[in-house]
Structure 1
Amino acid sequence: MTDTEQTSHQASQAQATEAQVSEAQALADLVIYESILAAAQKIEGAVLGTPCLPAPRLSELTGAEVFVKYENMQVTGAFKERGALVKLLSLSEKERARGVIAVSAGNHAQGVAYHASRLGIKATIVMPALTPFVKISATRGFGAEVVLVGDTLAEAKAEADRLAEAHGYVWVHPYDDVEVIRGQGTIALEMLAAQPDLDMLVVPVGGGGLIAGMAVAAKAIKPQIEVIGVETVLYPGMWGALYNKEVRCEGATIAEGIAVRDIGLITQEVIKRTVDDILLVKESTLEQAINAYLTLQRTIAEGAGAAGLAAMLSDRERFVGKRVGLVLCGGNIDPRLLSKIVVRELARDGRVVSIRIDTPDKPGVLGEIAMTIGNMQGNVVDVAHHRLFLNVPAKGATLDVTFEAFTAQHGTDIVQALREKGYTVKHLDVAQAVG
């Protein structure tokens, strides 16, 4: 992390001149309900009208009546293609001939690449080198030229600026563009058409394009509806702007799709006028939400896509008894990361238990331990036998065992049974045990 990346939100926004702020305010005035309706007509048939369905198991989990908008069903796996397509359709023939350029950690990249290819427009996408491979591969698969530069979006943006200047490419901004904001707003039109009685929309926030467009559309249709944004505690840029707080945006997050430091100027203006609140969520709660979507809804959510549900899990009382619409805005998560999250959640629930047992180094001990666990219907999934640890007696050994249990209490009962047989048992962090 460079010193540049660790600058505060206020310091970053201070770079905006009065003229830029004034221009942003004027452009924000152009994001109106009628323009979002027009955007919906433009993309009809080219972007999937995804379902917005009741989620009874999430309702049981949160105490609210939950409805999920499945934007992870889009061709590119995320909502971003809505705004990208509206922007591309707004270009003149001369602009299309020049080609377009975008900076993205993945979902915007895929949206631009897919629809630019459909429309016969050359697309160059600059991505940070640390972008998950699944998103890099997908973007190339949709026909774009991908350039990998730097560790951060800021470094990728600098390279994109250079390429745009050198080749005359037209910018397709991921969020701070009137056409893009209008495109994202079409999600709210569909949600309220499907579920007109919603009390709240809970929307992930990165640069602000999604929530800005949705808030304008939703408030026009139903002025009393609450629109709540969600950011991670590591990247609270829009929260800082909304409440005039100095914040720092830094750190590794599983919600890289909303890990935005330099939030939009246009989106800020729209959000200040239309959004009711922004909540901040922790990484552990994002993991819980990703796991809940997978195990309860049988659908895949990336970190950003799960942010709305994470907010409901973080502040349950805020939502209890309300009819809440969640935007599952993307499902492009690295399968390896998803598998790690599932195991970690099993450990948090006490259904995967890792223990260290001090044993005498003699035949039959491993068998007795395995038999004890098996007789109680536990399932051993990993064993590591250590004889050379210096803190273990020369005639002793240490055994690390990871096993599955039906419930946390079941796991506790198995550990107690081992202790009753005379073994010294200590609990391990599952990450330490599994890898």
Structure 2
Amino acid sequence: MDAGIAPDLAALHDARARIADAVLQTPLWANDPLSREFGAPIHIKLENLQRTGSFKLRGASHKIGCLLRSGQAANGVIAVSAGNHAQGVARAAMVAGLPATVVMPANAPLTKIESCKSLGAEVVLFGSNLEEARVETDRLARERGLAFIHPYDDWEIVAGQAGVGLEILEALPSAAQIVVPLGGGGLISGIALAAKLQRPDIRVVGVQADAVAPWRHFLADGGIDAIPPDAHTIADGIKVKLPGLLTRQVVARHVDAIVTVDDNAIAEAMVTLLERTRTIGEGAGVVGLAALMRGLIPLPPEAPTVIVISGGNADMTLVGRSIDYGLASSGRLMSVAVLTPDSPGRLATLLGLVAEHGMNVRHVEHRRGELHVPVGMTEIILQIETRDFTHQRELLEHFARQGLAARNLLAP
């Protein structure tokens, strides 16, 4: 494959065939609940069910295969990553019988560090971010003679990721639109090439996290937006501040639109995916679904839209917080503070009022002796599971009719 020329359709099919035994052909599900909700056919491509939990295994497997055939990986391979790319390289190298070194920031999640070690990789912790870790990666590559595997800015990586797009059109030739998470651009470049080289009419949309959105104005002026050093997003898998040079070529030519979503929308999408598919999507993996839920992407009413869920390697503590946030933001969880006389039976009365409305109490807390709570009174905090915001308003109005001062602590 020419290092300076984007792969053609034949090259993409060849890449898919080469890695067929190393990766899974992931499901493409028609999702009836989402289709009814959005008023258009919605299909979900579940790359979160890929081996290692992410599409990254595809590109890593293809790149390592190319290195082996060309004799460039005699001493092993090295990558820099805080998560999915590291695990993809570690597994692909293990399958190929090559030693792998993965450089990760010192604050990388322990679960991802242990996952790479379990796949046989040497894990080197260095620096506080990927930029610092990359410096150590380059030093080790020179010192040990290791082949560096870039996470996205490499045509052989892009060709591997293109298998996602080939599988989509093979299973759903009538797809009108594919919505893809956008970080460095490797996944969307592979999918866009696979789709547009077969169906120039198909629409490809990229979705970024709002806090880290270097592509924000790219389609309008070709520029890459600067990202503040302290930018944070729960979509850490697409927290890429400098997109690839090669991937910019594909995005400029083949991507039709780019939108951004904030972390609140991403958290809600994590909950929605879990409810609709019974699978977990990490923050970066669900940004496409978040964009649809926010109404940012027009949907053809008859032809299918495909949402790519790019990965499922979510930190479990983040999943728990995201679920609670998603429930609160959709009106299914409220935390209400009720000021009431500090006397026996008051809590039982409150719980009875809640039960009358068919609500479930998850947690109870008393506050006494605080400056905002008068002497002789207590503030009871009830965390309650509800159906929707209307259900919550009904409870607050009922409290008011009983002469109880109540406020929803989770109200926007």
Query: Do residues 255 (structure 1) and 232 (structure 2) align?
Result: no
The offset of 1:406, in angstroms, is 2.9
Give distance in 2, aligned partners of 1:391 and 1:51: 54
Partner of 1:284: 264
* Alpha carbons 1:176, 1:209 under 8 Å: kept: yes
Q: Which moved more, 1:330-339 or 1:60-69?
A: 60-69
Of residues 8, 12, 19, the one that matches 1:36 is 12
Aligned partner letter, 1:70: L
Query: Do residues 76 (structure 1) and 52 (structure 2) align?
Result: yes
Give distance in 1, aligned partners of 2:190 and 2:329: 37
Partner of 1:10: none
Kindly provide the CA deviation profile for residues 238-277 of structure 1, in whole angstroms up to 9, marking residues without a partner as x: 3343333462324211111111001101111122122112
Of residues 333, 341, 346, the one that matches 1:352 is 333
Give distance in 1, aligned partners of 2:352 and 2:29: 46
Query: Do residues 415 (structure 1) and 396 (structure 2) align?
Result: yes
Of residues 89, 94, 112, the one that matches 2:89 is 112
The offset of 1:316, in angstroms, is 5.0
Q: Which moved more, 1:57-66 or 1:120-129?
A: 57-66
Partner of 1:399: 380
Which runs of 5 or more structure 2 residues have no equivalent in the other structure?
none
Change (3 A) 1:396 1:414: same
* Alpha carbons 2:183, 2:237 under 8 Å: kept: yes
SS at match of 2:51: coil
Q: Which moved more, 1:68-77 or 1:314-323?
A: 314-323
Matched residue count:
406
Kindly provide the CA deviation profile for residues 220-242 of structure 1, in whole angstroms up to 9, marking residues without a partner as x: 11111111111111122233433
Aligned partner letter, 1:384: E
Partner of 1:56: 32
Give distance in 1, aligned partners of 2:162 and 2:357: 54
Partner of 1:16: none
Kindly provide the CA deviation profile for residues 184-240 of structure 1, in whole angstroms up to 9, marking residues without a partner as x: 011111110000001111111111111111111111111111111111111222334
Change (3 A) 1:220 1:344: same
TM-score by length of 1: 0.89
Give distance in 2, aligned partners of 1:382 and 1:370: 11
Of residues 351, 358, 364, the one that matches 2:345 is 364
Aligned partner letter, 2:41: E
* Alpha carbons 1:378, 1:414 under 8 Å: kept: no
Kindly provide the CA deviation profile for residues 42-80 of structure 1, in whole angstroms up to 9, marking residues without a partner as x: 011221111212111121222221111111111101111
SS at match of 1:159: helix
The offset of 1:136, in angstroms, is 2.2
* Alpha carbons 2:215, 2:225 under 8 Å: kept: no
TM-score by length of 2: 0.94
* Alpha carbons 1:27, 1:266 under 8 Å: kept: no
* Alpha carbons 1:72, 1:328 under 8 Å: kept: yes
SS at match of 2:298: helix
Change (3 A) 1:317 1:114: closer
Give distance in 2, aligned partners of 1:280 and 1:87: 30
Query: Do residues 146 (structure 1) and 106 (structure 2) align?
Result: no
Give distance in 2, aligned partners of 1:41 and 1:404: 49
1:29-428 alignment, distance < 5 Å: 29-92=5-68, 94-244=71-221, 245=223, 247-250=225-228, 251-315=231-295, 318-321=298-301, 322-428=303-409
Give distance in 2, aligned partners of 1:394 and 1:126: 58
Give distance in 2, aligned partners of 1:375 and 1:78: 45
* Alpha carbons 2:259, 2:296 under 8 Å: kept: no
* Alpha carbons 2:77, 2:100 under 8 Å: kept: yes
Aligned partner letter, 1:340: R
Give distance in 2, aligned partners of 1:380 and 1:291: 20
Change (3 A) 1:425 1:30: closer
Change (3 A) 1:30 1:421: closer
Aligned partner letter, 2:283: G
The offset of 1:407, in angstroms, is 3.1
Change (3 A) 1:28 1:184: farther
Which runs of 5 or more structure 1 residues have no equivalent in the other structure?
1-25
The offset of 1:182, in angstroms, is 0.5
